[in-house]
């Protein structure tokens, strides 16, 4: 365990003890994620390729057998919330506690005898930056309960339950990527995930060894207003699949793209959405092939193509994200794209190590010149998925 996760585990455990008056049974961590490529494909049964961040949600948890669930976050200015596990009901909670409570609800609903817990958590995953702070929260609680109640569930099964918690209990129509990434990623790898059958492959992605870096630029534009837009895109994709007579857009082979687009006739909006999804799946496969062939620099242009498709066809970018991508590419980046759902959040920039200072400065200056809030840039090292710390 790294020194910083050791320190985080200790401080979260100590705070737990001060709050609840006894030591926790254990401490767990689950990371946020960045999606390298494969955006808005997960609800079309397609491909995604996230990797885990070093940023994690860390939870100290103690098992309870009296039906009481107590929740506390170091990052929210609320007292301990106390809930009864048998009274948990979807849609009843509009606060942050809905994420961990939703996990308990989903586990119980799936027939697992989770009889209560005390939870204290703290997270270094920035919330609302498109880096999946919500999945980190869900997965860390799910993993802790899996261990404490001896449920024996695998990472992908925990991910499914966490997705159900977020879909049904919280009421956010998210796909399976975030939770699977948080639960299943491995250090030094990106996760090639087929969101239809959840089959996965760890793809070596050790940029530092090859003299490259991947920057995450958080535009600090909140994406919370994007729910309605997300729903519209999702409905448009479903309409496209129906018009094309397939279960999901994933079923349209890339070789049949032009024919499929022609069949959509005057459905201009749907046609653009469909084109993004089908070409994006192909881009993910191209990135996997390049990385497996050891040709890492070749993925740069594919990332840039992906951004253009999200901006022009899927229309989920925003001026800040476009400015990061254009400025980074202009300053010598190998590739860049928005990541996450869009309408704000973060962009990823692939660059030679030596070019990082120039690119970072260029982006900062471009933001200042445009009158945008200063962005937050950090280096994303592909890190471990969810794990027990102590
Ligand atoms: P994202 O997952 O992209 O960060 P979401 O809107 O899906 O954005 O999730 C953000 C929400 O998750 C926050 O509004 C909050 O309710 C919850 N959350 C994230 N981190 C924490 C934390 N450390 N403590 C409490 N709640 C958190
Ligand atoms: Mg989220």
pLDDT value of position 224: 61
| CA neighbours closer than 13 Å in the CB half-sphere of residue 168 | 17
CATH 3.30.230.10 in the chain, residues?
A: 3-202+383-388
CATH 3.30.70.890 in the chain, residues?
A: 206-379
Handedness of CA 294, 298, 302, 304 (dihedral sign): positive
How many A from CA of 342 to the centre of ligand 2? 12
Pick the CATH number of 206-379 from 3.30.70.890, 3.60.150.10, 3.90.1150.10, 3.90.1200.10: 3.30.70.890
- Catalytic site residue 178? yes
- Alpha-helix runs per DSSP H in the chain: 3-20, 98-109, 133-148, 155-164, 177-184, 227-244, 257-263, 268-292, 299-312, 319-330, 356-370
CB-based contact 120:14 (threshold 8 Å): no
| Residue 160 in tokens | 């499914």
How many A from CA of 147 to the centre of ligand 2? 24
- In whole angstroms, give the CA distance from residue 223 to residue 18: 35
- In whole angstroms, give the CA distance from residue 241 to residue 250: 9
Minimal-distance CA residue to ligand 1 atom 11:
134
How many A from CA of 51 to the centre of ligand 1? 19
* pLDDT tens for the chain, residues 1 to 390: 677 889 999 999 999 999 999 999 999 999 999 999 999 999 999 999 999 999 999 999 999 999 999 999 999 999 999 999 999 999 999 999 999 999 999 999 999 999 999 999 999 999 988 899 999 999 999 999 999 999 999 999 999 999 999 999 999 888 899 999 999 999 999 999 999 999 999 999 999 999 999 999 999 998 665 678 988 999 999 999 999 999 999 999 999 999 999 999 899 999 999 999 999 999 999 999 999 999 999 999 999 999 999 999 999 999 999 999 999 999 999 999 999 989 999 999 999 999 999 999 999 999 999 999 999 999 999 999 999 999
How many A from CA of 17 to the centre of ligand 1? 24
Atom of ligand 1 nearest to the CA of 57: 23
Taking the CB of residue 197, how many other CB atoms lie within 10 A of it? 8
CATH number, domain 3-202+383-388: 3.30.230.10
Catalytic-role residue among 118, 178, 218, 355: 178
Q: Which ligand is nearest to the CA of 123?
A: 1
Minimal-distance CA residue to ligand 1 atom 3:
130
- In whole angstroms, give the CA distance from residue 236 to residue 269: 8
The H or E element containing residue 189 is strand 189-194
Q: What is the pTM of this model?
A: 0.94
Atom of ligand 1 nearest to the CA of 95: 16
Atom of ligand 1 nearest to the CA of 125: 20
Residue-wise pLDDT for 225-258, tens only, equals 567 898 899 999 999 999 999 999 999 999 999 9
Minimal-distance CA residue to ligand 1 atom 13:
127
Task: Tell me the sheet residues that pair with 194.
Answer: 47
């Amino acid at each position: 365990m790294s020194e910083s996760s050791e320190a985080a585990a200790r401080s979260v455990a100590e705070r737990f003890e001060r709050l609840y008056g006894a030591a926790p049974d254990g401490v767990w961590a689950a990371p946020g994620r960045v999606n390298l490529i494969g955006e808005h494909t997960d609800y079309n049964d397609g491909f995604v390729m996230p990797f885990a961040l070093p940023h994690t949600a860390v939870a100290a948890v103690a098992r309870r057998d009296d039906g009481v669930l107590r929740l506390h976050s170091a990052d929210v200015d609320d007292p301990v919330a106390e809930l009864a596990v048998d009274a948990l009901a979807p849609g009843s909670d509009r606060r942050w506690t809905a994420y961990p409570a939703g996990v308990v609800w989903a586990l119980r609903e799936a027939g697992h005898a989770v009889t209560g817990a005390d939870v204290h958590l703290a997270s270094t995953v920035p919330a609302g930056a498109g880096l999946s702070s919500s999945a980190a929260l869900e997965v860390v609680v799910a993993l802790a309960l899996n261990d404490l109640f001896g449920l024996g569930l695998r990472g992908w099964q925990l991910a499914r339950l966490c997705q159900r918690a977020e879909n049904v209990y919280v009421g956010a129509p998210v796909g399976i990527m975030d939770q699977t990434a948080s639960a299943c990623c491995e250090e030094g790898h990106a996760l090639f995930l087929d969101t239809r059958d959840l089959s996965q492959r760890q793809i070596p992605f050790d940029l530092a060894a090859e003299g490259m870096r991947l920057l995450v630029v958080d535009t600090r534009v909140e994406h919370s207003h994007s729910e309605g837009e997300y729903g519209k895109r999702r409905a448009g994709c479903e309409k496209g699949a129906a018009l094309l007579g397939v279960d999901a857009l994933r079923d349209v082979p890339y070789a049949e793209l032009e024919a499929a687009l022609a069949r959509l006739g005057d459905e201009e909006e749907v046609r653009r959405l469909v084109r993004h999804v089908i070409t994006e799946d192909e881009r993910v496969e191209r990135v996997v092939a390049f990385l497996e062939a050891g040709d890492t620099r070749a993925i740069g242009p594919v990332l840039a193509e992906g951004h253009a498709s999200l901006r022009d066809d899927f229309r989920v970018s925003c001026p800040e994200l476009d400015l990061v991508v254009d400025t980074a590419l202009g300053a010598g980046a190998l590739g860049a794209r928005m990541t996450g759902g869009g309408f704000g959040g973060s962009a990823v920039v692939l660059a030679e190590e030596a070019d990082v200072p120039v690119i970072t400065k260029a982006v900062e200056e471009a933001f200042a010149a445009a009158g945008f809030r200063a962005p937050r840039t950090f280096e994303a090292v592909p890190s471990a998925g969810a794990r027990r710390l102590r």
